[in-house]
Amino acid sequence: MTIPQILYETILWVEGFTAITAIIYFNREKHHYWKYFCLYLVLIFLCEVFGKYSPRFIEYDSSKFYNYFVIPLEFIFFYWLYAAKSFGKPKLFYILSLTYLLSFIPNELFFNTRKEIFSLNYTLGCLILMGLVIMEYYKQVNSSEILNFSRNRMFYINLGVTLFYIGTMPFWTFFIQIKQYKEIRDIYYSYFQMSLIVMYILFSVSLIWGKHKDKYPESFLRSS
């Protein structure tokens, strides 16, 4: 097996481990909004299982499944987790989600919708997420709990999101140009796979080591 094939098989196992971790910790989180994070991890794993094995039994458009369901689900969930919950700004969540969803209109009108990834939607989704990631780092740095970052659940989630979504944004944004250069494409695709594995490991760590932290630093709230 080649390295990309090994990584491809590893991804599903890691996502499965993360889903099992989420199920185990769900009972502890069932009275807190983190229960939705657990449910999200299980749902994404089921989507990946469906995406990998369903072609053996049924015919369906894989790109549409990911572009119209899985990827929007991922972005909108993280907008909710960051904006509505971590920052306590539900209106910001609605604004960002609507902005992202509206990007499907020009995509349908002016771009090829048969691509593996809708680069316009993915790029905008990542740019919005990048803004939230930066705000989260700012919040953590200005928190009095900065020395206890290892117990901060959002620290691990933010790091994972940075490595995967932000780190792979250029790959999908310029995929048409990059795929013409096989060596660069293969290296970046391997990074895509490895960062996805690391992200889900960090998600598991966030559930195991992380603690609830719902207070917002005064300096963060004033500056937001």
- Structural domains of the chain, count: 1
Residue in 199, 211, 215, 125 with CA at minimum distance from that of residue 158: 199
Tokens coding 224: 């937001």
Neighbours of 51 (CB within 10 A): 15
pLDDT tens by residue, the chain, 224 residues: 778 789 988 999 999 999 999 999 999 998 899 999 999 999 999 999 999 888 888 888 888 899 899 999 999 999 999 999 999 999 999 999 999 999 998 877 876 666 667 778 899 999 999 999 999 999 998 887 777 778 899 999 999 999 999 999 998 888 878 888 888 899 999 999 999 999 999 999 999 988 765 444 444 444 44
What 3-state class would DSSP assign to 152?
Answer: strand
What pLDDT score does 19 carry?
97
Instruction: Tell me the angle at which helices 71-79 and 119-141 cross, rounded to the nearest 10 degrees.
Output: 30
What pLDDT score does 217 carry?
46
Identify the domain containing residue 96 by its residue range.
Answer: 3-223
* CATH number of 122's domain: 1.20.1070
What pLDDT score does 112 carry?
66
d(CA 16, CA 5): 17
